[in-house]
A and B are shown apart, each in its own frame.
Chain A
């Protein structure tokens, strides 16, 4: 029989026992819906976690530090064996890293202790320079006020706890000024009696001069943006990175660098953050940076572990979701076996009229397939709605807890196609036994059946 005739006949047969077949199809739909809803939650959670973590820069950022002879109080074996002088992490190194392939940006970690004067009262805190890219880190989503107007603006964003220290009504701080008191590093000329003989590239150290900067408070943020990792202390006052670097504020590594004999006129960073364009490029980039003569550290293993965790999580959700579909397949088997009993005589007539065993088999197969396709389509729809409903319920709860809403479920196109294919394949498998049983019916017995 031609495929269109076969399908037409199958659909016609299904329409005749409308209620029973509709209920069986509904069973498949519920099975697929449960599968889609479960996996959509798994995918949604994975996307949520990946988005947050990739925005935070944890998985696409490499922390670069100079090779020290000592780290955490223990000698570094690799440096000891190489016996090469450590390279300073300066502007030259920064430009070199910027030129490496797949590098999105390179920025220094500028954090320093400071005193803030507000309303004539002193407050001690840590200031951090935020790169422009941190605006997309997600930490500034839902902030009060706005992000820095320019990359060199004299503006400050306060962390909420710090803002609460400054005022009992934090939102009222926006638009007000505060004074940042910090230690500026000023290079001293090299002493004439320098006996090293290479004094041309070295200064005579630096002096620390107290300075003040007036900053306008433009926003309040809930949590501190991580902007990678490796920062010192929790920064509670955020200023643009370019503004922070022009301050030439004394850093924790300054003393080490001056002892090491670096030029105090040159900016030497304690650490640099290198962001790759994609998390998958981090491994190669990390190796390239190590080849330049620096220490490089990334959370690559953590990223891999996260992916493994979600794969297992999705698999478990998929298995639980599939249970309902497995029950639905029993419904298909039952419906088709019932149909064989009811249509026994009809099968006999078809065979008497010239239908081959394969025609009868295909007819029942197509009937199972049509139930699978329809069940799959409705199931994907139901599953999507179920996911939305769970997402909606969760967000209502989150909003009651004064938390930001999240996108809990996600139905990507591959899940739709996968669910449809799965529904059809499972239905066809369920149709295998009834179809083969129908095909094997003896036509003489079938025609005699009342």
Chain B
């Protein structure tokens, strides 16, 4: 029986904070849900609140009000340890600046989530190779991030995000530091992985054309509010 419960469901989510004398409403009463296996793009200009919303979905930040249901649990009510477990077991994250640890080899970088998840040592090399296979970088396993191009580094970051077999992949401007051609390759790879693994992807981007091409739905943010939520005709057709 196919899963009908949303992968992530946001209900009247707000994230406000004080910055100096200014009260910032980074996310203001946003509600929507993401279906399992869906590829959602969060669009908006800088400061529109899309990254804050992604951090809330990742359990890296807590909402001021509202609830975020993921895996049937309200993230707003989880204790710090449960949130860490949620990030470890349910979420995979990729970032604009890749955030690979420069001192570690690709293998060690990708193994890091497995260490945190206390996966048996004997099982780890196979899982690392499998993840690297998916991003077609097995031959660079012993290299360090600095020896790779930007696109390759982002592929390694994707492999690291995938290695714990998460249900939800959250991408924060994954093409922001890449040229357009490489950016396209990365988004194509994400789409391919989503199709193969049936993951839910939520991607923050400000590149609408790319989002139109690869995502299933586009959520547009402005001043912390959800301005629109529409199907992407191109992405949905792929």
Binding site for B on A (CB under 8 A): 1-2, 5, 9, 12, 16, 345-346, 348-359, 443-444, 447
Return chain A residues, CB-CB under 8 Å to B88.
Answer: 353-355
Is residue B117 within 8 Å, beta carbon to beta carbon, of the partner chain? yes
Closest beta carbon of chain A to B124's beta carbon, Å: 10
Q: How far is the CA of A66 from the CA of B84 in the complex (A)?
A: 84
Q: How far is the CA of A234 from the CA of B103 in the complex (A)?
A: 78
Q: 1/0 per residue B81-100: CB within 8 Å of A?
A: 10011011101010100010
Q: How far is the CA of A355 from the CA of B81 in the complex (A)?
A: 9
Q: How far is the CA of A346 from the CA of B99 in the complex (A)?
A: 8
Is residue B112 within 8 Å, beta carbon to beta carbon, of the partner chain? yes
Return chain A residues, CB-CB under 8 Å to B58.
Answer: 352
Is residue B113 within 8 Å, beta carbon to beta carbon, of the partner chain? yes
Closest A residue, CB atoms, query B160: A353
Closest beta carbon of chain B to A415's beta carbon, Å: 38
Return chain B residues, CB-CB under 8 Å to A444.
Answer: 55, 60-61
Contact in complex: A353, B101 (CB < 8 Å): no
Is residue B118 within 8 Å, beta carbon to beta carbon, of the partner chain? yes
Is residue B236 within 8 Å, beta carbon to beta carbon, of the partner chain? no
Contact in complex: A1, B103 (CB < 8 Å): no
Q: How far is the CA of A5 from the CA of B121 in the complex (A)?
A: 9
Contact in complex: B103, A351 (CB < 8 Å): no
Closest beta carbon of chain A to B144's beta carbon, Å: 12
If A444-B60, A444-B61, A447-B99 touch, does A354 touch B118 (CB 8 Å cutoff)? no
Closest B residue, CB atoms, query A16: B103
Contact in complex: B85, A352 (CB < 8 Å): no
Most buried by A among B85, B91, B99, B160: B99
Could you say which interface size class chain B belongs to? 20 to 34
Q: Specify which of A5, A349, A355 is in contact with B84 (CB 8 Å cutoff).
A: A355
If A346-B101, A349-B99 touch, does A359 touch B55 (CB 8 Å cutoff)? no
Contact in complex: B115, A1 (CB < 8 Å): yes
Contact in complex: B61, A355 (CB < 8 Å): no
Which 4 A-B pairs have CB atoms at the shortest separation, nearest pair first?
A354-B88, A356-B84, A5-B115, A354-B87
Return chain B residues, CB-CB under 8 Å to A358.
Answer: 81
Contact in complex: B60, A353 (CB < 8 Å): no
Binding site for A on B (CB under 8 A): 55, 58, 60-61, 80-81, 84-85, 87-89, 91, 93, 95, 99, 101, 103-104, 112-113, 115-118, 160, 164
Closest A residue, CB atoms, query B98: A349
Q: How far is the CA of A12 from the CA of B89 in the complex (A)?
A: 25
If A350-B112, A444-B60 touch, does A356 touch B55 (CB 8 Å cutoff)? no
Q: How far is the CA of A9 from the CA of B108 in the complex (A)?
A: 10
Contact in complex: B80, A12 (CB < 8 Å): no
Contact in complex: A354, B95 (CB < 8 Å): no
Return chain B residues, CB-CB under 8 Å to A349.
Answer: 99, 101
Task: Supply 10 further A-B pairs (C-beta < 8 A) apart from A16-B103, A348-B99, A352-B60.
Answer: A1-B115, A2-B118, A353-B87, A353-B88, A353-B93, A354-B87, A355-B88, A356-B80, A356-B84, A356-B85
Q: How far is the CA of A443 from the CA of B87 in the complex (A)?
A: 12
Return chain B residues, CB-CB under 8 Å to A447.
Answer: 60, 95, 99
Q: How far is the CA of A382 from the CA of B99 in the complex (A)?
A: 42
Closest beta carbon of chain B to A92's beta carbon, Å: 79
Contact in complex: B61, A351 (CB < 8 Å): no
Q: How far is the CA of A350 from the CA of B61 in the complex (A)?
A: 15
Q: How far is the CA of A357 from the CA of B84 in the complex (A)?
A: 8
If A444-B55, A444-B60 touch, does A9 touch B115 (CB 8 Å cutoff)? yes
